Amino acid sequence: MMTHMGGHSWGHMLLGGAMMVLFWGGVITLVIFLVRGLTSRRRHTASRPSSSALELLEQRYARGEIDRQEYEARRRDLES
């Protein structure tokens, strides 16, 4: 009859269940790391305009478009 299970069947069922939990745990962990990686890149690109604004300010000063006093005042504004 089908009600009697051999000694190895329970072990295989437990091992199969454990492997399924490990597989899905790995998939979920991978998704979490991917999402964190993408969001951290967005945070770094969001901070980029302030550094490029400082670079533009330095270029304007180097070309002589603004004097030292205006350069220092604007640099302090950008860094705060």
Alpha carbon distance 71, 42 (integer Å): 29
Alpha carbon distance 37, 20 (integer Å): 26
pLDDT given at position 24? 96
pLDDT given at position 48? 52
Written as one string, the DSSP assignment of 6-66 is -HHHHHHHHHHHHHHHHHHHHHHHHHHHHHHHHHHHHHHHHSHHHHHHHHHHHHHHHHTSS
| Amino acid identity for residue 51 in this structure | S
pLDDT given at position 78? 86
Higher pLDDT among residues 79 and 61, named by residue:
61
Residue 1: pLDDT above 50?
no
* Distance of alpha carbon 3 from the chain centroid: 52
Residue 47: pLDDT above 70?
no
